[in-house]
Amino acid sequence: MPLNLGDTVPDFSCDSSVGQIHYYDHVGDEHWSILCSHPSDFTPVCSTELGTLAKLLPQFERRNCKVLALSCDNAESHRKWIKDIDASGYCGKTTSTVSYPILADEERALAVKFGMLDPEEKDEKGQPLTCRAVFIVDDHKKLRATILYPATTGRNFYEILRVVDSLQLTDEYPVATPANWERGEKVCVTPSTPDEVAQVVLGDFSVVKVPSGKKYLRLSKDPGYKTPKVLKRGMVETILGTEYGAKLLPTLGRLVVAFALGGFSSSFASSKKKEKPVLTTPQTSGWKKR
Ligand code: BEZ
SS (H, E, C) 147-170: EEECCCCCCCHHHHHHHHHHHHHH
pLDDT the model gives residue 228:
58
Ligand 1 binding pocket mutation candidate from 43, 73, 90, 118 (most atoms within 8 A of CB) = 43
Residue predicted with more confidence, 273 or 230: 230
CA–centroid distance, residue 69 to ligand 1 (Å): 15
**DSSP label of 180:** T
CA of 43 to the centre of ligand 1 (A): 5
Q: How far is the CA of 8 from the centre of ligand 1 (A)?
A: 30
Q: How far apart are CA 16 and CA 68, in angstroms?
A: 10
Question: What distance in Å separates the CA atoms of residue 152 and residue 122, rounded to the nearest whole number?
Answer: 13
Under DSSP, the state recorded for 9 is: P
| pLDDT score recorded for residue 119 | 85
Q: Is 45 left (phi over 0), alpha (psi -120 to 50) or beta?
A: alpha
pLDDT at 232 over 90: no
Give the β-pairing of 102-104 and 117-122: unpaired
The C-alpha atoms of residue 159 and residue 165 are separated, in whole angstroms, by: 10
Please check the confidence at residue 79 and state whether its pLDDT lies above 80.
yes
Give the tens place of pLDDT for each residue, 196-207: 999 999 999 999
CA of 103 to the centre of ligand 1 (A): 18
Average pLDDT in the chain: 86
* C-alpha 76 to ligand 1 mean position (Å): 20
Q: Is the dihedral of CA 132, 151, 47, 75 positive or negative?
A: positive
pLDDT at 124 over 60: yes
- State residue 255's pLDDT score: 62
Q: Which residue has the higher pLDDT, 246 or 267?
A: 246
Helix 44-62 to helix 157-172 angle (10° resolution) is 30
Per residue in 248-275, pLDDT (tens digit) is: 666 656 665 565 555 444 443 444 444 4
pLDDT band with cut points at 50, 70 and 90 for residue 278: very low
**Size of the chain, expressed as the number of residues it contains:** 290
Which atom in ligand 1 lies closest to the alpha carbon of residue 44?
Answer: 3
- Residue having the nearest C-alpha atom to atom 6 of ligand 1: 151
User: According to the model, what pLDDT value does residue 2 have?
Assistant: 81
State the closest ligand 1 atom to the C-alpha of 48, by its place in the atom list counted from 1.
2
> b/e for 126-149, b at 16 or more Cβ within 10 A?
eebbbbbbbbbbbbebebbbbeeb
The ligand 1 atom nearest the CA atom of 47:
2
Alpha-carbon distances, residue 272 vs 163, 167, 239, 254, 267 (angstroms): 30, 32, 21, 12, 10
- Average the pLDDT over 156-162 and give the result: 98
pLDDT 10s digits, 80-116: 999 999 999 999 888 789 999 999 999 999 999 999 9
Q: Whose CA is nearest to atom 1 of ligand 1?
A: 45
**Among protein residues, the one whose CA lies closest to atom 7 of ligand 1:** 151
Query: What residues does ligand 1 touch, defined as CB less than 6 Å away?
Result: 39-40, 43-46, 121, 151-152
Please give the Cα distance from 167 to 56 (Å, whole number): 18
CB 90 within 8 A of CB 31: no
